[in-house]
Amino acid sequence: MNIPPEVRALLVCPVCEGELEDRGDGLLCPACQKVYPVLEGVPVLLPARARKARPAGGGDGSPPRR
């Protein structure tokens, strides 16, 4: 992703104003568990455009088994 670090630092979640983490294909808000898309290098910080973050360790979305 080509977002300069100084710009990244200004980016916060529009819902909770928490810090966002770079997920490679989007920006993750850990508090909301939402991923905001980045289109052509421009972060789209709209709650309506966000998608649910995949649960950590879930892999393909199937329930974890032991």
User: Could you list the residues that contact Zn ion (CB under 5 A)?
Assistant: 13, 15-16, 18, 29, 31-32
Q: In the complex, what is the shortest distance from the CB of residue 27 to Zn ion, in angstroms, rounded to a whole number?
A: 10
Residue 47 Cβ vs Zn ion, minimum distance, rounded to whole Å: 9
Between 7 and 16, whose beta carbon lies closer to Zn ion? 16
Cα dist from 18 to 10, 65, 66, whole Å: 11, 32, 33
Burial (Cβ within 10 Å: 0-12, 13-18, ≥19) of residue 44: middle
Q: How far is the CB of 45 from Zn ion (least distance, A)?
A: 10
